[in-house]
Structure 1
Amino acid sequence: MLKTKLVAVIALIGLFLTTTAFSNPDLHDNCNLVEKETSKLIKEKNNRYLQTSEQPKIIVKTVNRVDHLTPKKLSKYKRTVFIIVGYKDKKKNVQIYSSKDLHSAFTADIRGNIIRSQSDQLRSNNKKEFNKGLRFVFRACATTIDQRYQYALDKYDLSNDERTQLTHPRRLALPIALALVLVIGGLLYFFKSNMQLKK
C-alpha cells in the first residue's frame, strides 16, 4: 500500500516537472512543427532577455489555421514579438506581430523582408527545411530587438551577411527594370525605323 502511494507520488512529481520546469513558455507548438534545435534557440535567447532591464520576449506559436493569425489581446502586450505559424492541409502561413512599443522597429517592410527572405523554406513540407527558415526568422526578430534596445549582438543574432540580405532583399526590381529597358529600347528602335521609312 505504501509502495503504491510512493510510486504514485513520484509519478505525479515527474509529471509536474515535465509540464512546468522543463517546458518552454515562449513556444506553443500546437501543430508539432518545431524541432528540438529551434525550441532550444527560442528558449536560450528568451532566457538572455530575462537578464535585461527591458525583458523583451519573442513568442513562437503554431496554430491549426492559415488565416486570422493575430494573437489575442495583442494590444495588452509590451516588448513582445509573436511569430505565428498557421498550418492546415499542408499549407503554411507565417506572420510576425509586435506589441505597440515595438511597431517602429517592426514596420510592415521589415516584417515583410524577413518573411520573404525565407519564403521557400517556410513553405517547405520538409520539417528540417521549414525549421531552418523558422530559426532564421526568429534570429532576425531577435537581431531587430537587440538593435532597438542597443544590446550587444550575440551568437543568436544574424551575421553581417545575413543582415545585408534583409536590408537589400532579392526582389523582382532588377529583372523588371531590365525588362523595361528592353521594351523601351525596342519601342525606340521601332519608332526610329518607322520615321526613317516615312522619310
Structure 2
Amino acid sequence: MTTTGFVQANVVDDAHILNHQTKTLIQEKNDRYLQTKEKPQIAVITVKRLNKLTPKLLNSSKKTAYIVVGEKGKKRNVQIFSSKDLHGAFTADSRMNIIRAAGPKLRNKSNKTFNSGLRFVFRACATKIDQQYQYSLDKYDLTNEEQDKISHPHRVALPIALAIVLLIMALAYLFKQASSRQEK
C-alpha cells in the first residue's frame, strides 16, 4: 500500500457531468505529476449547486489546483481555485483569462462541447503548473497558439484600440482649436 500525499481524489463527479475522455485526461496528467518530486495535483470537482464552490480542503491543501463545476438545472458555473503555494501561477487575471478563453464552450448546452471546454481549462491549469515548476511541456499542455488566447484575449483589444483612436481624435481637435485661437 502506497500513499500519494493527496488529500482527495483527482475527480469527484457528484453532478455526473464529466465524460470518459475528460476523466482520462485528468487521471493521466495527475499520474504524471505523481512521478515528479513536487507532486502537484489538479482536482476536478462537480457539484449540484451554483454558489459556495470553494473546496473544503483548499486552505489545508498544498500544490493543488481545483477546477470546480457547479450545476443546477441548465446553468453551470466553472471556477478555478489554487492552494497558497500556487497563487503565483494562478493569479485572479490568469484564472479569469482561462475561463474567458473557454467561455463559449463552457456556456454550451451540449455535454460533449462543455467537456471539451473543461478539458481546455484543465490543460491550461496543467500548463500553468508545468511552467511554475519548470517541467517540460507534454501532450497534455496547451500549444503556443492556445496559450496566446489566454495571454492576449482579443475581446480586450478592440475596446482599447477604440479608446486610443478617440484619444488621438480628441487631442487633434484640441490642437486645432488652440492653433486657430493663436491665429486670431
- Please indicate, yes or no, whether the TM-score normalized by the shorter chain is above 0.5: yes
The question of 1:98 aligning with 2:82 is answered: yes
The question of 1:143 aligning with 2:141 is answered: no
Count of residue correspondences: 172
The question of 1:166 aligning with 2:150 is answered: yes
Q: CA offsets, 1:121-178, max 9 Å, x none?
A: 1111101110110000000000000010011110000011111111111223423532
TM-fit CA distance, 1:82: 0.2
Gaps of 5+ in 1: 1-23
When normalised by structure 1's length, the TM-score is 0.78
Question: For 1:35 and 1:131, how far apart are their aligned partners in 2?
Answer: 7
Aligned twin of 2:16: 32
Aligned twin of 1:80: 64
Where do 4+ consecutive residues of structure 1 move more than 3 Å?
182-189
Question: For 2:77 and 2:24, how far apart are their aligned partners in 1?
Answer: 22
The question of 1:117 aligning with 2:101 is answered: yes
Instruction: Tell me how large the CA RMSD over aligned residues is.
Output: 2.2
When normalised by structure 2's length, the TM-score is 0.84
- Supply the AA of the counterpart residue of 1:113: N
Aligned twin of 1:8: none
- Supply the AA of the counterpart residue of 1:129: T
Bigger proportion of residues as helix: 1
Q: CA offsets, 1:20-70, max 9 Å, x none?
A: xxxx93111111111111110000000000000110000001111111111
Correspondent of 1:52 among 36, 41, 44: 36
Aligned twin of 2:92: 108
TM-fit CA distance, 1:100: 0.5
- Supply the AA of the counterpart residue of 2:64: T
Percent of pairs with identical residues: 58
- Supply the AA of the counterpart residue of 2:133: Y
Correspondent of 1:71 among 31, 39, 55: 55
